[in-house]
Chains A and B, each alone.
Chain A
Amino acid sequence: MSLALRCEALEKRYGAVVAVDGLSLSVERGECFGLLGPNGAGKTTTIEILEGLLAPDTGDVEVLGLRWKTHGGELRERLGVQLQETQLTDKLTVEETLRVFRSFYRQGHTIEALIQLVGLEAKRTSWVAKLSGGQKQRLSIACALAGDPDLLFLDEPTTGLDPQSRRQLWDILTRFKAAGGTILLTTHYMDEAEALCDRVAIVDHGKVIAAGTPAELIANLAAPKMVVREGTLEDVFMALTGRHLRDE
């Protein structure tokens, strides 16, 4: 299988703070890859470098076999991006918001198809301000899918959502993957990584400290310590990062 994404020895500093410290990873086409880590581990900085929104201080990035410096315009057409903190314009409707984003792409889904993909048919003419958290997030995913991307970047796509909304989102992503799409997502929910990801990398202090399929990680790291019950990815995570997920 060919690589959808590869980066090597990425480094990014903000003054004295090292956000990304020699991080390397590769994602294969058709794969769902998860970046796991506690808050402040460098996940967002890493994904923004891969998305071409930030330039690394040093290191090498190749996306779909192309480089940001030479093929930025072409890459933008083929990638879908969902950012962690975007608040879409409150007083536009679902349909109007999608029209804006769809207009940026040379090819892709129709507005109609996008609305159906994320199941927002009933909310087509509602203002963004009137949507629930889960609906907003689905709209955000629809914007990312506007250009029918080969590779989808998602930064904490389900943070703060109720369980039902999370399931709906997972379904959308599972369908995207089944159609041949590649996904790179960050999360700090272990169940999400186990449900969606073919492979994960656990990131802390700007480095990959473990990588593999969820099953491999559990087998290698958690199992020896887990005598009374079956190991989970969360056990792996706690063993490696040594602190609770939500601690800053």
Chain B
Amino acid sequence: MSDSRRGGAHHPLAELTLARLREFMREPEAVFWTFGYPVIMSLALAFAFPSAELQPVLVGVTGGDAGAAIRQTLAAAPGVTVRDVAAADALRMLREGEVHILVEPTDPPSYRFDKARDESRPARLVVDNALKGAAGRADPWTATELPVDVPGSRYIDWLIPGIIGTGLMANGMWGVGFSIVQARMRKVLKRMVASPMRRYQYLAAQLLARMTFLGPEVAFPLVFGVLAFGMPINGSIASMAVVVLLAALAFSALGLLFGTRARTFEGISGLMNIGMLPMWILSGVFFSASNFPDAIQPLVQALPLTATNDALRAVILEGSPLPAIRDELAILLAWIVIPFAVSLKIFRWQ
């Protein structure tokens, strides 16, 4: 509500936050990247992981009529797609992944495949098994198979929290860092310092404005993951909100810190890239951070994006309550308090 003592204006923290929000909403490009990034990433993932179904084994059989019996046998095997391949095309098709293995109708048959190729080794086993079974091999026993398809244990389930984490990082750091450098370049900061505005209010407003975009920004990839991939959300929404809020504050505080001194967009861009690159690599976005050597684990674990991704995965996939992720939350808290305090200290207002 308007405050009559302020001549119709709200509290400065509210006015500064509103001003930042208005500025953001009137900048179509900034809005696009904030909400577009998770959309684009999610769509890219949808293409990369089209469905949960098994990919068929692609087998090429050469030899024309001589290979007819083999083709017939393999075609009857489950999960196998058989192609009649002319000898002249055979190697090219193998090289380009159109077939995973080539079977030549010699006696006994020959298999031609690339051992270094992930799809070729199971293809060889499937082919070998089907042909030997057809040739009369007796199995000593048949194992009882217990197939498992637990949502939450697949790569895509693991990946989506990482996408959300990187979105929080990129938007927090760019959003806050750039707007500050812009205000400095336009001498708006200097003008504000010449007023009775309290400096922490300006910095706090940058963080507050950032918080208001969080809902849709996080909800989109999450809902997309649930609808498109059946990703489970095992933890509570409240726990997730706590993690997201702390993470967003931590990355905004980092953006603030990177924006404290830079005088140009080139300057801030360089700093941002230096700051974000280690996290892209080390913080377990696309593969687990525990793969890095023990010697650098303390560093890896201390990064805010590692804490964010670990905490998000724990809550979303394992349903962990907050006490179980207190270490990650403590790391994020430190990444909020320290950069904010340092920024306030070393901020270049003019």
Is A96 located at the chain interface by the 8 A CB criterion?
yes
Query: In the bound complex, do residue A83 and residue B15 qualify as a contact, i.e. CB atoms below 8 Å apart?
Result: no
A143-B195 Cα distance, complex, nearest whole Å: 9
- CA A52 – CA B229 in complex, angstroms? 60
Knowing A53-B193, A81-B195 are in contact, say whether A89-B8 is a contact too (CB < 8 A).
no
Q: Is the CB of A104 within 8 A of B350?
A: no
State whether the Cβ of A147 lies closer than 8 Å to any Cβ in chain B: yes
Within 8 Å of chain A (Cβ to Cβ): is B23? yes
Query: Are B187 and A87 in contact, CB atoms less than 8 angstroms apart?
Result: yes
Q: Is A106 close to B, CB under 8 A?
A: yes
> Quick one: which of B5, B6, B9, B196 contacts A73, CB cutoff 8 A?
B196
| A residues contacting the other copy or chain, number (CB 8 A) | 39
* Interface: A159 (CB within 8 A): no
Cβ–Cβ contact A92 & B15, under 8 A = no
Please tell me if B188 contacts chain A, counting CB pairs below 8 Å.
yes
Q: Which of the residues B7, B14, B19, B187 comes within 8 Å of A86, measured between beta carbons? A: B187
In the complex the two chains form, what is the Cα distance from A223 to B194 in whole Å? 41
Q: Are A86 and B15 in contact (CB under 8 A)?
A: no
Least distance between A176 CB and chain B CB atoms (Å): 17
Say whether, besides A89-B23, A96-B22, A110-B8, A105 and B186 are in contact (CB < 8 Å).
Answer: no
Mask for B1-38, Cβ within 8 A of A = 1, else 0?
Answer: 00001111111101110110011001100000000000
* Residue A130 is within 8 A (CB to CB) of chain B in the complex: no
- Give the interface residue-count category, chain B: 20 to 34
Tell me whether A100 and B191 are in contact (CB under 8 A).
no
Quick check: B190 and A91 within 8 Å, CB to CB?
A: no
- Of residues 68 to 86 in A, which have CB atoms within 8 Å of B's CB atoms? 73, 76-77, 79, 81, 83, 85-86
CA distance in complex: A79, B187 (Å): 18
Shortest B300–chain A CB gap in Å is 40
Task: Please measure, in the bound complex, the distance between the C-alpha atom of A112 and the C-alpha atom of B6, giving whole angstroms.
Answer: 12
Query: In the complex, how many angstroms separate the beta carbon of B81 from the nearest chain A beta carbon?
Result: 57
Q: Is A111 an interface residue (CB 8 A)?
A: yes
Q: Could you give, for residues 42-56 of chain A, a 1 whenever the CB lies within 8 Å of some chain B CB and a 0 otherwise?
A: 000000000111000
What separation, in Å, do the CA atoms of A147 and B5 have in the docked complex? 11
A107 at the interface (CB under 8 A from B): yes
Which of A88, A92, A103 meets B9, CB within 8 Å? A103
Cα A213 to Cα B125 in complex, Å, equals 102
Query: Would A81 and B191 count as touching, CB distance under 8 A?
Result: yes
Bound complex: CA A159 to CA B15 (Å): 30
CB–CB B7/A96 < 8 A: no
Q: State the CA gap A32–B347 with chains docked (Å).
A: 35
Among residues of B, the one whose C-beta sits closest to the C-beta of A87 is B186
CB-CB under 8 A from A85, the residues of chain B are: 187
Known: A91-B23, A100-B19, A104-B12. A109 touches B7 (CB 8 A): yes
B197 near A: Cβ within 8 Å?
A: yes
Interface mask (B188-229 → A, CB under 8 Å = 1, otherwise 0): 101111111100000000000000000000000000000000
**Among candidates A83, A87, A105, residue contacting B194 with C-beta atoms closer than 8 Å:** A83
- Kindly state the separation between the CA atoms of A106 and B6 in the bound complex, as whole angstroms: 6
Q: Measured between alpha carbons, how far is A112 from B183 in the docked complex, in Å?
A: 26
- The answer to whether A83 touches B191 (Cβ under 8 A) is yes
Does A124 sit at the interface, judged by CB under 8 A? no
For the complex, is A102 an interface residue (Cβ under 8 Å from B)?
A: yes
- How does the 8 Å CB contact mask read for A109-152 relative to B, with 1 for contact and 0 for none? 11111100000000000010000000000000001001100000
Query: What residue of chain B has the Cβ atom nearest to residue A101's Cβ?
Result: B195
Give every chain B residue within 8 A of A22 (Cβ-Cβ). Answer: none
* Closest residue of A by beta carbon distance from B24: A91
Chain B residues contacting A112 (CB-CB under 8 Å) are 8
Q: How far is the CA of A227 from the CA of B8 in the complex (A)?
A: 58
- Give the CA-CA distance A112 to B7 in the complex, in Å: 8
Task: Give the CA-CA distance A108 to B7 in the complex, in Å.
Answer: 7
Q: In the complex the two chains form, what is the Cα distance from A89 to B19 in whole Å? A: 9
Chain B residues lying within 8 Å of A113, measured Cβ to Cβ, are: 7
What's the Cα separation between A81 and B193 when bound, in Å?
A: 10
Q: With A76-B195, A86-B190, A87-B188 known to touch, is A99 a contact of B10 (CB < 8 Å)?
A: yes
Query: In the complex, which residues of chain A have a beta carbon less than 8 angstroms from the beta carbon of B5?
Result: 106-107
Q: Hey, which chain A residues are within 8 Å of B6, CB to CB?
A: 102-103, 105
Shortest distance between the CB of A91 and any CB in chain B (Å): 4
Q: Is the CB of A89 within 8 A of B195?
A: no
Report how far A2 CA is from B148 CA in the complex, Å: 89
Distance to closest chain B CB from A133 (angstroms): 15
Cβ-defined contact, B12 with A103, below 8 A: yes
- Of chain B, the residue at the smallest CB distance from A109 is B7
5 contacts between A and B (CB under 8 A): A89-B183, A105-B195, A111-B8, A111-B9, A147-B196
Given pairs A86-B186, A96-B19, 11 additional interface contacts (CB within 8 A)? A51-B194, A77-B196, A81-B191, A83-B190, A86-B191, A89-B19, A92-B23, A99-B8, A99-B15, A111-B8, A111-B9
A-B CB proximity, top 8 nearest: A76-B196, A103-B9, A81-B194, A103-B15, A91-B26, A110-B7, A87-B186, A103-B12
